């Protein structure tokens, strides 16, 4: 994978760093011209609050690079791994039997690759880093090679909540949940494109909308009624469900309505939340392959469904997401019938 010959500058005038990369608030032009004590003031704000609101415009219309993409060399912690180095890595970060592989390559990189991997996942991660202060791995490359799609990203050192959750006492769990609530609030506050869709009003990537042998309608959808209709028609196209699709056609419009599109991670599970070692809580959200703008109930319903009720995790979900218990029941039925 020859990168040096294809690299182009990712910046032009004007240029601003992603907000997540800023150490403090950027000063305005008037601040710079009028306040000689500005930087001491900003440093004090940082120390007092520990969190910052950006002065940069938050717009979902900002351009996100498309594949092939390679980060500028100056932003890399080390030379990017080659395709051969990625495919020969035996350090699997999840079950190696999955069609889409996730491997570590040295101390700096993780690569996700496979024939069916959608590179929009990497673009969404870049979008989240651009629009919010939510901790997400840096994306270093998006490309296709040797019959596979590749996302090369920052390696996050630590352990997932799946590995560590049961070792924490309630105060520690509460601290983690407080951070998670703030991050999800920030994600949901990102401007909506007024549609149910992925980036650039692309199709939705959640498993419920995954094309099947005799059906494919994954959006984008302008209304919740259209969103529901796609799920109903996928049910109707399933021979295994017999006439249940007709039942959904009659009932879903009565129970799933009035939910605006909000930016949604789409797979909040303990295995997708990494916690870095250290004296304070430092979490990173992984696995953005389903992310997009879904109805307001979707994140809660999917999170409860994917909890599997295997420990007390599900009891904490209401503390970091607005509960939608009625919608969850219908989501769970649909997920079991057309989401696998």
Domains of the chain: 56-154 (3.30.200.20), 157-340 (3.90.1200.10)
Q: Label residues 135-146 b or e (16+ Cβ within 10 Å = b).
A: bbbbbbbbbeee
297 band by pLDDT with thresholds 50, 70 and 90: very high
Query: What's the confidence (pLDDT) of residue 210?
Result: 87
Q: What is the mean pLDDT of residues 49-54?
A: 40
pLDDT at 62: 62
- Alpha helix positions (H), 140-285: 161-164, 170-188, 224-236, 244-255
Residue 333: strand, helix, or coil: helix
Whether 205 shows a pLDDT value over 70: the answer reads yes
Measured distance CA(161)–CA(312) in Å, rounded: 12
| Average predicted confidence (pLDDT) for the chain | 86
Query: Is 235's pLDDT higher than 60?
Result: yes
pLDDT given at position 32: 43
**pLDDT score, position 211:** 83
> Kind and range of the H or E element at 5?
none
pTM, entire model: 0.82
27-46: per-residue pLDDT in tens?
655 444 443 333 333 333 33
- What percentage of the chain carries pLDDT values higher than 70? 81
Residues 191 and 183: beta-carbon distance below 8 Å: no
Tokens representing residue 150 in the block: 């590749």
pLDDT band (50, 70, 90) for residue 242: confident
pLDDT grade, residue 22 (50/70/90)? low
Tens digit of each residue's pLDDT (9 = 90 or more) over 163-201: 999 999 999 999 999 999 999 999 999 999 999 999 999
**Rounded CA separation 16/230 (Å):** 40
**pLDDT, tens digit, 9 for 90 and up, residues 247-269:** 999 999 999 999 999 999 999 99
């Amino acid at each position: 994978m020859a990168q040096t010959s294809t690299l182009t500058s990712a910046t032009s005038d004007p240029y601003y760093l992603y907000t997540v990369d800023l150490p403090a608030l950027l000063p305005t032009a008037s601040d710079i011209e009028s306040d000689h004590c500005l930087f001491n003031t900003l440093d004090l704000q940082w120390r007092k609050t520990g969190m910052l609101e950006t002065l940069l415009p938050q717009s979902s219309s900002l351009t996100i690079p498309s594949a092939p993409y390679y980060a500028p060399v100056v932003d890399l912690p080390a030379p990017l791994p080659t395709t051969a180095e990625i495919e020969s890595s035996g350090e699997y970060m999840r079950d190696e039997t999955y069609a889409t592989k996730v491997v570590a390559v040295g101390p700096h990189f993780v690569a996700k690759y496979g024939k069916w991997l959608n590179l929009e996942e990497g673009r969404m991660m870049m979008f989240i880093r651009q629009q919010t202060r939510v901790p997400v791995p840096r994306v270093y490359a998006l490309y296709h090679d040797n019959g596979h799609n590749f996302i090369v990203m920052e390696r996050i050192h630590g352990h997932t909540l799946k590995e560590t959750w049961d070792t924490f006492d309630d105060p520690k769990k509460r601290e983690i949940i407080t951070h998670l609530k703030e991050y999800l609030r920030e994600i949901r506050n990102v401007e909506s494109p007024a549609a149910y869709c992925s980036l650039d009003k692309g199709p939705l990537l959640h498993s419920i909308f995954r094309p099947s042998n005799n059906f494919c309608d994954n959006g984008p959808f302008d209304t919740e009624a259209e969103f529901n209709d796609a799920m109903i028609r996928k049910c109707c196209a399933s021979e295994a469900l017999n006439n249940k699709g007709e039942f959904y056609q009659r009932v879903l419009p009565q129970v799933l309505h009035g939910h605006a599109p909000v930016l949604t991670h789409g797979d909040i599970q303990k295995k997708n939340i990494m916690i870095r070692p250290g004296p304070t809580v430092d979490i990173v959200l992984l696995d953005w392959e389903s992310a997009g703008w879904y109805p307001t109930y979707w994140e809660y319903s999917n999170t409860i469904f994917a909890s599997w009720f295997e420990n007390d995790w599900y009891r904490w979900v209401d503390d970091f997401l607005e509960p939608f218990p009625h919608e969850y029941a219908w989501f769970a039925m649909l997920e079991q019938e057309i989401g696998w």
